[in-house]
């Protein structure tokens, strides 16, 4: 199957690249980190919403653009390039998808226009332990009340609405509802998260039961893989430029065959990852039956590639790559968090095998 971007998608990608380089460069991320804002940049989120990104997958009848998952994936890829700290993934991808897939007419009418306008931030609360195990939930649902705990909720410290998975389905919980308590986490990637506890907290169930949990997670995994692709591509390009200019032993280091081999490995892995990620995004837009397969393939491939490229980013820059003055550390730290979020490479290789009865 041949996949190419249409004119509308190319324009969206170009606009996203220009915006991120001009309005959300790594220097903006560094300033946020230095000011210890822990991932908080509400002004950037407002600017993204004004660009229409918050409503890319929201249907037009609910105030969105209805441009599809490929379009949103292209934007996430560009935000990954500059490490833009925003709730775009957790809100525009995950929150919007949860409501589109499982929301009642009332829930869609209430929340989707607010998501599209950038008026609310959502967060997915799924794991309860140190590792990604969505099927192991001890969350108790009694009527319209939830009790239990969720760990490492990405963007949970800034969320207005929580998408909470349980053993029997998915629930909407207002972040400021009675019975909801947050323990903010200061994370290594400077993006922030929260551990969240529920004690008879009021909740609204979404339609779809346990099947909805995996459907939402697969969209989260594919969206995150798109962001990781952008991050790896940027790290590779910066490293490539360094290999062309840094001199050692009387010649540019890019002339050494050993480094050329390592750069070639990164290039081929990036191209393979791009194919997997774009195919997964396309599968979402086509409503394919094997979305789960594409999601695990994309997330596993993106995790492996970003792990390699982020390591090489530091190593090929030598001593300067180990300093905080250089951006390489930011990319490596974000890489390690993204690799484990919603399942690491090992988790998804195992899931891919089970899906194919290996």
Per-residue model confidence as pLDDT tens digits over 274-316: 999 999 999 999 999 999 999 999 999 999 999 999 999 999 9
What are the sequence ranges of the domains in the chain? 7-116, 122-207, 211-355
Domain 211-355 in this protein, CATH class? mainly alpha
**pLDDT for residue 2 is more than 80:** no
The whole-chain average pLDDT of the chain stands at 96
Provide mean pLDDT across the span 93-100: 98
**Residue 64, pLDDT score:** 96
- pTM of this structure: 0.97
Compute the average pLDDT of residues 261-273: 98
The domain defined by 7-116 carries CATH number 1.20.58.1610: no
Span 347-354, mean pLDDT?
A: 97
76-90, 245-259, 292-306, 311-325: least confident range: 245-259
Mean pLDDT (whole number) for 94-121: 98
Distance of CA 150 to the CA centre of its chain: 18
pLDDT of residue 229: 98
- In whole angstroms, give the CA distance from residue 84 to residue 77: 10
Q: How far is CA 118 from CA 75, 221, 233, 290, 317, in A?
A: 16, 22, 28, 31, 39
> Which tens digits make up the pLDDT trace of 117-173?
999 999 999 999 999 999 999 999 877 899 999 999 999 999 999 999 998 899 999
Q: What is the mean pLDDT of residues 18-23?
A: 98
Q: What is the pLDDT of residue 1?
A: 57
- What whole-number percentage of the chain has pLDDT above 90? 92
**Fold match flag (7-116 vs 122-207):** no
What is the rounded (10 degree) CA torsion for 68, 73, 74, 79? Answer: 130
Rounded Cα distance between 343 and 322, Å, is 28
Lowest mean pLDDT among 74-88, 103-117, 165-179, 240-254: 240-254
Residue 232 binned pLDDT confidence (cut-offs 50, 70, 90): very high
Which pLDDT band, with edges at 50, 70 and 90, does 41 fall under?
very high
Residue 19 pLDDT more than 90? yes
When pLDDT is averaged across residues 212-226 and rounded to a whole number, the result is: 98
Task: Identify the pLDDT of residue 255.
Answer: 87
> Can you tell me the distance from the alpha carbon of 28 to that of 41, in angstroms, rounded to the nearest whole number?
9
- pLDDT category at 60 given cuts 50, 70, 90 is very high
Task: Please name the fold of domain 122-207.
Answer: Butyryl-CoA Dehydrogenase, subunit A; domain 2 (2.40.110)
Among left, alpha and beta (phi > 0; psi -120 to 50; other), residue 66 is left
pLDDT, residue 358, reads 87
- Burial string for 306-330 (b: 16+ CB within 10 Å, else e) reads bbbbbebbbebbeeebeeeebbbbb
């Amino acid at each position: 199957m041949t996949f190419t971007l249409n004119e509308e998608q190319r324009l969206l990608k170009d606009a996203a690249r220009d915006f991120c380089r001009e309005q959300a460069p790594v220097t903006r991320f560094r300033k946020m980190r230095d000011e210890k804002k822990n991932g908080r940049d509400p002004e950037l989120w407002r600017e993204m919403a004004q660009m229409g990104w918050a409503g890319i997958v929201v249907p037009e009848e609910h105030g969105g653009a209805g441009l599809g998952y490929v379009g949103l994936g292209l934007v996430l890829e560009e935000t990954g390039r500059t490490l833009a700290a925003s709730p775009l993934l957790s809100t525009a991808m995950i929150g919007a998808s949860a409501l589109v897939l499982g929301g009642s007419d009332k829930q869609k009418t209430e929340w989707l226009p607010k998501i599209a306008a950038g008026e609310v931030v959502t967060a997915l609360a799924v794991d309860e332990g140190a590792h990604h195990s969505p099927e192991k939930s001890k969350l108790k649902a009694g009527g319209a009340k939830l009790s239990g705990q969720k760990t490492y909720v990405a963007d949970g410290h800034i969320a207005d609405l929580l998408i909470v998975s349980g053993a029997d389905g998915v629930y909407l919980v207002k972040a400021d509802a009675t019975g909801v308590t947050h323990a903010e986490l200061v994370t290594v990637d400077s993006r922030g998260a929260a551990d969240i506890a529920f004690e008879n907290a009021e909740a609204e169930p979404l339609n779809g039961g346990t099947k909805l949990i995996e459907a939402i997670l697969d969209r989260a995994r594919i969206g995150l893989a798109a962001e990781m692709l952008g991050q790896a591509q940027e790290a590779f390009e910066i490293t490539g430029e360094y290999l062309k200019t840094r001199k050692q032993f009387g010649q540019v280091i890019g002339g050494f065959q050993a480094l050329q081999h390592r750069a070639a490995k990164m290039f081929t892995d990036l191209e393979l990852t791009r194919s997997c990620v774009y195919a997964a995004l396309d599968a979402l837009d086509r409503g394919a039956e094997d979305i789960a397969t594409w999601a695990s393939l994309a997330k596993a491939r993106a995790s492996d590639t970003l792990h390699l490229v982020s390591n090489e980013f530091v190593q090929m820059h030598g001593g300067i790559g180990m300093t905080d003055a250089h951006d390489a550390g930011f990319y490596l730290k974000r890489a390690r968090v993204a690799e484990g979020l919603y399942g690491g490479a090992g988790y998804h290789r195992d899931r891919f095998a089970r899906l194919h009865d290996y």
